[in-house]
Amino acid sequence: MRIAIIGQQKFGKAVLDAFLDRGDTVAGVFCTPDKPGSPPDPLSAGATERGVRLFQLPSLKTPEALEALRGLDVDLGVMAYVLQFAPQEFTRIPRRGMIQYHPSLLPKYRGPSSINWPIIHGDTRTGLTIFRPSDGLDEGPVILQKETPIGPDDTLGSVYFDRLFPMGVEAMKEAADLVMSGKARETIQDESQASYEGWCRDPEARINWHNHIDQVYNLIRGCIPAPGAWTTHGGRKIRILEARKHPARTFSAVKGKIGAVTDIAERSLFVSTQGGQIEVLTLKPEEGKKLSGREFSEQAGLTAGTILGG
């Protein structure tokens, strides 16, 4: 088949490589412009390395973008990690239209941080969807879905890099084959089940130690490795990169004031929250390097009773 790939980042490059390696023709790649002073986007670099025609356009809504895609004369457009808005005028140019990857079980978790939020909310499963893009945000008909469990200690990193990333690359090839063979079944999304979540960024990643231990732990693991759930000490942000939870068996077993350091162990520190303690194994202070909980405690002068996040 003859395709165009629209996307960015490592996932976009992996999709490019997957189609090329199996013998498909990638007529062109559309990727956002590289930022001045930053390294090239992995997808744009991959296209250059493999001799694929590259279009780095600030918008897919312009006559330039439309004309570029028409000139490629492709069967199918493959949208892999796309943050630019692609209007219907653009997506309908390929003979068989376009397919798009989204890392959630649509219609749940529409939006840009759809891997973070199921973990933060304590869900026990998530997945990916390949769908037809429409002018609505992640609202088009579904071609296929793949599901994966979220374990009690899974993080954003483990769910995405270990499962949704490789599963997504394979699902894009599978969906493309279904469309090209005429076997694709398109299912309209059930709007009664739809949910939308915005970006998970710094404001959303702040830890409230007064929340229940499960909520605190889910936020921490849903933000590893990015954006990094954080608290403060002495007015400086501390991002937690690795943690464990230790629920209290009874209410009376909860140690110390909420948000207080309760213990400093061989390589970690413990913080009290509602229903138990969070063991902080690795953290990164603002404008500092990655440290173990104990190393940070020694550098910052933390002792039992020190309150974090105040």
Which tokens go with 77? 């457009």
Which tokens go with 255? 């140690």
Res 253: pLDDT: 55
pLDDT digit string, tens, across residues 256-269: 899 999 999 999 99
| Closest residue by Cα to residue 29 from 40, 38, 240, 37 | 40
Res 249: pLDDT: 78
CA-CA distance, 199 to 114, in Å (whole number)? 8
Is 274 a residue whose pLDDT tops 60?
yes
| Closest residue by Cα to residue 59 from 29, 83, 41 | 83
Enter the pTM of the model: 0.94
pLDDT digit string, tens, across residues 206-258: 999 999 999 999 999 999 999 999 999 999 999 999 999 999 976 555 678 99
Question: Candidates 3.40.50.2300, 3.30.450.40, 3.30.1330.40, 3.10.25.10; correct CATH number of 202-300?
Answer: 3.10.25.10
Res 272: pLDDT: 96
pLDDT digit string, tens, across residues 150-168: 999 999 999 999 999 999 9
Question: Does 2-193 match 202-300 in CATH topology?
Answer: no
Cβ neighbours of residue 151 under 8 Å, at least 6 residues apart?
A: 158
Locate the domains of the chain by residue range.
Answer: 2-193, 202-300
Q: What is the CATH number of domain 2-193?
A: 3.40.50.170
Beta strands 76-80; 98-102: pairing state:
parallel
CA-CA distance, 76 to 86, in Å (whole number)? 14
Exposed/middle/buried for 233, CB within 10 Å: 0-12, 13-18, 19+? buried
